[in-house]
């Protein structure tokens, strides 16, 4: 099964990815990463988050994936060496000069960025000769082409499975630089592909002609996995922690249960973020005109119903509101967000839902009710307008719990045992790789029943661990509850210290 690699534009997103099932996360530092607009991480706090991820079995990849100027190379090398000292597992690079400098200098592995546009066997061989151990393949490849490269056995391969697509070859587009003086290869792309353009200079008919829908491979994930790639990458270091949590969870569940129905998951992801739905990029065939979001380049949400009758707009306490009757094809609750399908920039938050004159919390598919929305509606809206759900308040709260302070939804299974070893009593936790032991002097006498001791040993709430099995020897003697709890804390702390270390494989 391939690794699942999630984006971490900030600490909250890192936690969201880890707690929702990522095997790996990738993040940028304050310099030399292709998402300068993300919050990113500093060398001062990087070590803390590397340890957090490692304890929970997740690897950390650092993006140093911009092209460098000659004078920047020494600083980039020094940043990489410091990050390597802090225990990161891999660097994602575009600049081959930096790769040559780091090969053999750092313990972390080197991954060739998708911005290197590697799309054939010659490219893989060149990357290997430069010291790379994994290549993030160009996003313009089909499944057949991906399978050929993954099956060559030259090095590990990685492909994007979800997220925004570049209109041009990743890393080769110079449109942002020529139009705005901001280079994607320097981490400051202005996203000109999301702007309006006209054919034949007809400005009255300008559309978003270069804006592709986002990639979503959930519907054919089995085919993508069967190519043999080693890692599936989610795009989104500029997205919210809720986005990272939702997408990571959807792909984790689909990978762990290949036969599951993904229709509901795709609906949820459509609400969280989509541009007029999703597409398969180039993986199932070349990007088509139907995959271009010509009408609107931003978030559009999931079609959820239709407004029936007149829309009434008014202003209350300085806030724009409108109300209308709506027939639903998807559930809608107070607190959710909606937009108009024809004009997605209009819409807002659903404040009140009424049915038959009574205020209710939600409406189900097939029901008609009246909604009051804090927001605006398109000028000249007629008696009927399709609407989309752009925010699911209940789902957002569910996702937010996974990256709240102290959240531990991802538990590491451990086996525990309490036994006597000569003049000592030993409490031992094993995670399959590490063994952590804490000891105390043996004291003769009758102690608590084994069932009670097992309960204390298994009480690891608030930690990343879950005790899957526990054994207690009959000869452990007299142990007070406070002493056993102290022993438990010592063993758990030692196990955590062991798991914080980088494991190169």
Q: Give the pLDDT confidence score for residue 445 in this predicted structure.
A: 86
For 346-360, the pLDDT digits (tens) are 999 999 999 999 999
Q: pLDDT class for 382, splitting at 50, 70, 90? A: low
DSSP one-letter string for 189-220:
---GGGS-B-STT-GGG-B-TT-BPEEE-GGG
Give the tokens for residue 446. Answer: 């009758």
Per-residue pLDDT, 180: 86
Compute the average pLDDT of residues 125-140. Answer: 97
Percent of the chain exceeding pLDDT 70 equals: 99
3-state secondary structure of 403: coil
Largest CA distance in the chain: 94
Average of per-residue pLDDT across 487-500: 97
Q: CA 343, CA 378: separation in Å to the nearest integer?
A: 7
Strands (E), 37-116: 59-64, 90-93, 109-112
In the predicted structure, residue 504 carries a pLDDT above the cut 70:
no
* Domains and their CATH numbers in the chain: 3-291 (3.20.20.380), 302-401 (2.40.30.10), 412-499 (no CATH)
Q: Tell how far CA 442 is from the center of its chain.
A: 48
**3-state SS class at 207:** strand
Rounded to the nearest integer, the mean pLDDT of the chain is 94
Neighbouring-strand partners of residue 360: 353
* 227 vs 1: CA distance, rounded Å: 11
Inform me whether the pLDDT recorded for 381 exceeds 80: no
Residue pair 456/488 in contact (Cβ under 8 Å)? The answer is: yes
Q: How large is the average pLDDT for residues 289-313?
A: 94
pLDDT (mean) for 304-327: 94
Distance between CA atoms of 438 and 419, rounded to whole angstroms?
11
DSSP bridge partners of 157:
135
* 217 vs 167, higher pLDDT: 217
Is-contact 331 268, C-beta < 8 A? Answer: no
Q: How is 118-136 classified by DSSP, letter by letter? A: --SHHHHHHHHHTT-SEEE
Cα separations in angstroms, 240 against 13, 307, 357, 405: 7, 29, 37, 16
Sign of the CA dihedral running 40, 44, 45, 46 = positive
Q: What is the mean pLDDT of residues 110-123?
A: 96
Task: Quickly list DSSP for 417-450.
Answer: EEEEETTEEEEEEE-SS-EEEEEEE---S--S-H
What pLDDT digit, counting tens, does each position of 453-474 carry?
999 999 999 999 999 999 999 9
SS3 content of the chain, % helix, strand, coil (to 5): 30, 30, 40
């Amino acid at each position: 099964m391939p690794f699942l690699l999630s984006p971490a534009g900030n600490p909250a997103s890192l936690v969201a990815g880890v707690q929702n099932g990522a095997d790996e996360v990738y993040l940028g530092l304050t310099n030399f990463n292709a998402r300068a607009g993300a919050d990113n991480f500093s060398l001062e706090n990087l070590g803390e988050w590397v340890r957090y991820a490692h304890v929970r079995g997740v690897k950390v990849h650092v993006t140093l994936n911009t092209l460098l100027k000659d004078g920047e190379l020494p600083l980039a090398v020094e940043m990489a060496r410091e990050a390597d000292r802090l225990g990161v597992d891999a660097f994602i690079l575009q600049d081959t000069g930096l790769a040559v400098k780091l090969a053999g200098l750092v313990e972390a592995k080197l991954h060739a960025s998708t911005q290197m546009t590697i799309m054939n066997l010659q490219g893989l061989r060149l990357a290997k000769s430069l010291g790379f151990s994994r290549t993030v393949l160009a996003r313009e490849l089909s499944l057949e082409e991906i399978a050929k490269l993954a099956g060559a056995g030259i090095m590990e391969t990685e492909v994007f499975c979800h997220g925004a697509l570049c209109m041009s070859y990743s890393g080769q587009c110079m449109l942002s630089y020529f139009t705005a003086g901001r280079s994607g290869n320097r981490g400051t792309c202005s996203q000109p592909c999301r702007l309006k353009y006209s054919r034949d200079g007809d400005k009255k008919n300008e559309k978003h002609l270069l804006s592709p829908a986002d990639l979503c491979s959930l519907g054919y994930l089995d085919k993508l996995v069967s190519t043999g790639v080693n890692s599936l990458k989610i795009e989104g270091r500029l997205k919210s922690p809720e986005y990272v949590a939702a997408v990571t969870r959807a792909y984790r569940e689909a990978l762990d249960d290949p036969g599951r129905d993904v229709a509901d998951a795709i609906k949820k992801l459509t609400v969280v973020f989509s541009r007029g739905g999703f597409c398969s990029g180039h993986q199932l065939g070349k990007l088509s005109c139907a995959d271009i979001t010509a009408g609107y380049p931003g978030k559009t949400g999931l079609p959820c119903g239709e407004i029936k009758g007149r829309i009434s707009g008014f202003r209350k306490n300085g806030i724009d509101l409108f109300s209308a009757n709506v027939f639903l094809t998807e559930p809608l609750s107070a607190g959710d967000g909606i937009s108009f399908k024809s004009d997605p920039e209009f819409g807002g938050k659903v404040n009140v839902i009424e049915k038959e004159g009574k205020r209710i919390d939600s409406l189900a598919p097939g029901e008609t009710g009246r909604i009051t929305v804090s927001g605006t509606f398109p000028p000249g809206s007629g008696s009927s307008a399709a609407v989309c759900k752009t925010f699911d308040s209940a789902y957002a709260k569910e996702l937010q719990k996974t990256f709240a302070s102290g959240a531990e939804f991802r538990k590491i299974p451990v086996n525990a045992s309490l036994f006597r070893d000569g003049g000592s009593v030993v409490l031992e936790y094993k995670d399959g790789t590490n063994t952590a032991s804490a000891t105390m002097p043996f004291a003769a006498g009758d102690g608590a029943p084994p069932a009670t001791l097992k309960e204390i040993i298994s009480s690891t709430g608030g930690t990343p661990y879950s005790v899957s099995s526990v054994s207690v020897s009959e000869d452990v003697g007299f142990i007070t509850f406070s002493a056993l709890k102290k022993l438990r804390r010592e063993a758990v702390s030692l196990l955590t210290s062991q798991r914080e270390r980088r494991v190169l494989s």
